A and B are shown apart, each in its own frame.
Chain A
Amino acid sequence: MSLNLERNSKWMEGSGPQADIVISSRIRLARNLKGMPFPNLMNEAQEAKVIQLVGQAIRTPGVFQAVGELKLMPLRELSPVERQILVEKHLISPDLAEGKGEKAVVLRDDEALSIMVNEEDHLRLQCLLPALMLHEAWRLADAADDALESELDYAFDQDKGYLTACPTNVGTGLRASTMLHLPALVLTRQAGEILTALTKVGVAVRGLYGEGTEAQGNIFQVSNQITLGRSEEEIINNLSAVTVRLADQEREARELLRKQSRWQLEDRVGRAYGLLTNARILSSQEALQLLSDVRLGVEMKILRGIDQRLINQLMVRIQPAYLQFAAGREMTPFERDVHRAAMVRELLAG
Chain B
Amino acid sequence: MLCERCQQRPASVHVTRIINGEKTELYLCQECARDMQPQLNFSIPKFLAGLFDYEPGPGIKTQTIVEHCRECGMSYEQFQQTGRLGCPACYHYLAGRLEPLIRRIQGSSQHRGKVPRRAGGNLRVRREIEKLRAQLQQLVEQEEFEKAAQVRDRIRELENSLGEQGGGQ
Please report B residues at the A interface, Cβ cutoff 8 Å: 71-72, 74, 82-88, 91-92, 98, 101-102, 105-121, 123, 169
Contact = CB atoms under 8 A, between A and B. Distances in A.
A167 B117 contact: no
A171 B119 contact: no
B73 to A, nearest CB: 9
A153 B109 contact: no
Contact of A226 (B91, B107, B121): B107
Contacts of A36: 87-88
A158 B117 contact: no
B7 to A, nearest CB: 37
Interface residues of A, number: 41
A211 to B, nearest CB: 12
A306 B155 CA distance: 59
A95 B119 CA distance: 29
A220 B87 CA distance: 33
Contacts, number: 118
Given A150-B118, A167-B98, A167-B105, A38 B111 contact: no
A contact patch SS:
loop
6 contacts: A41-B72, A145-B114, A157-B92, A158-B111, A166-B85, A229-B108
Contacts of A41: 72, 74, 86-87
Interface in A224-239: 226-232, 235
A172 B113 contact: yes
B72 A37 contact: yes
Nearest 5 pairs of A and B residues by beta carbon: A229-B108, A161-B111, A155-B88, A172-B113, A156-B119
Contacts of B112: 171, 229-231
B116 A154 contact: yes
Nearest to B122: A158
B88 A34 contact: yes
A158 B121 contact: yes
A133 B84 CA distance: 31
A41 B74 CA distance: 9
Given A34-B88, A41-B86, A229 B106 contact: yes
Contacts of A161: 111, 113-114
